[in-house]
């Protein structure tokens, strides 16, 4: 049972909708308390509150056990030296797209520890996805029909060696989105072959990916409507 509260003062800054999403879940799935540094699953029911550091141009949302101290808004005049950690979680899946042919797909959820303050409603897509957009991915409404890249394919899904752990998803200049590659469902590679060695590659933000696997298609479609899904066609490399 989720027991995460967002103080109205914080909700006023991050927006009522975002605050309601944090309280309802499933994102975030995991947390680490900023005071005692003990972490866990948000849905495990321990009483948590969200706090916020506000610095010029960006904010950092954090979580604290309510037993460990207050959640508050801390305003800094200058940027703080937070490490800009990005965490990636991924899933491989497959389904029939609108053209009737199946696509093999990869979806990766990106979580950033430091978030930009820009209003996502203004730019139309979640700022966490900036790294993917800057490298040719495009907002998409359909998690089964990946957009074609404007130029050459610039993303690749590297398969692990047979029987081995490894592989990953990479962009140009050795940019690593995730490694190792998440587990491959049966038949996934056959669908890649149907598409001449290509697959759909999606990046999503604030989904709670590992908590929505039972109804991934609906969750991704909802994320797309909220401007939190971008994608492209990627090459699958052995």
Token look-up 């820009």 returns 118
Under the binding rule (CB under 5 A), the answer on residue 33 touching Zn ion is yes
List the one residue from 12, 36, 101, 193 that touches Zn ion (CB under 5 A): 36
Q: Which is closer to Zn ion, CB of 60 or CB of 65?
A: 65
- CB under 8 Å to 57, separation ≥6 — which residues? 79, 116, 117
**Buried b / exposed e along 85-106 (16+ C-beta atoms within 10 A):** eeebbbbbbbeebeeeebbbbb
> Among residues 58 and 65, whose Cβ is nearest to Zn ion?
65
Tell me if 181 sits within 8 A of 166, measured CB to CB: yes
CB of 40 vs Zn ion, minimal distance in Å: 10
Query: Which tokens in the block code for residue 152?
Result: 């050459």
**Residues 95, 145 contacting (CB under 8 angstroms):** no
Looking at the Cβ atoms of 52 and 209, the one nearer to Zn ion is: 52
User: Does 49 contact Zn ion by CB under 5 A?
Assistant: no
Instruction: Output the smallest distance, CB 64 to Zn ion, in A.
Output: 6
| Among positions 60, 65, 206, 228, the unique one binding Zn ion when judged by CB under 5 A | 65
Does 31 contact Zn ion by CB under 5 A? no
Rounded Cα–Cα distance for residues 228 and 219 (Å): 11
Element (H, E) at 216: helix 216-225
Does residue 68 touch Zn ion according to CB under 5 A?
A: yes
Residues in contact with Zn ion, counted by CB under 5 A, come to a total of: 5
Q: How far is the CB of 21 from Zn ion (least distance, A)?
A: 22
Contact string (CB under 5 A) for Zn ion, positions 134-163, x = contact = ------------------------------
52/105 with CB nearer Zn ion: 52
- Asked if 62 interacts with Zn ion (CB under 5 A), we say no
Q: Which string of DSSP letters, residue by residue, matches 168-214?
A: EEE-GGG-EEESSPPPPPTTHHHHHHHTTSEEEEEEEESS-GGG-GG
Q: Could you tell me if 169 and 180 are in contact, meaning their C-beta atoms sit under 8 angstroms apart?
A: no
**Beta carbon of residue 53, minimum distance to Zn ion (angstroms, whole number):** 17
Residues that bind Zn ion (CB under 5 A): 33, 35-36, 65, 68
């Amino acid at each position: 049972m989720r027991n995460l509260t967002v103080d109205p003062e914080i909700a006023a800054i991050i927006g009522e909708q975002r605050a309601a999403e944090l309280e309802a879940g499933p994102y975030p799935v995991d947390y680490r308390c900023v005071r005692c540094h003990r972490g866990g699953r948000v849905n495990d029911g321990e009483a948590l509150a969200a706090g916020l550091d506000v610095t010029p141009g960006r904010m950092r949302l954090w979580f604290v056990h309510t037993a460990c101290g207050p959640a508050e808004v801390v305003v800094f005049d200058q940027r703080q030296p937070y490490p800009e950690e990005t965490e990636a979680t991924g899933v491989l899946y497959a389904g029939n797209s609108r053209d009737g042919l199946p696509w093999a797909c990869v979806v990766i959820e990106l979580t950033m520890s430091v978030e930009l303050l820009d209003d996502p409603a203004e730019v139309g897509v979640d700022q966490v996805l900036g790294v993917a957009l800057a490298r040719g991915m495009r907002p998409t409404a359909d998690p089964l029909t990946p957009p074609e890249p404007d130029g050459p394919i610039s993303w690749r899904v590297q398969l692990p060696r047979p029987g081995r752990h490894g592989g990953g998803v990479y962009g140009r200049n050795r940019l690593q989105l995730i490694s190792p590659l998440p587990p491959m469902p049966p038949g996934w590679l056959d669908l890649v072959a149907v598409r001449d060695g290509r697959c759909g590659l999606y990046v999503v933000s604030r989904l709670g990916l590992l908590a929505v696997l039972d109804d991934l298609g609906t969750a991704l479609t909802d994320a797309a409507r909220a401007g939190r899904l971008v994608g492209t066609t990627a090459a699958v490399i052995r």
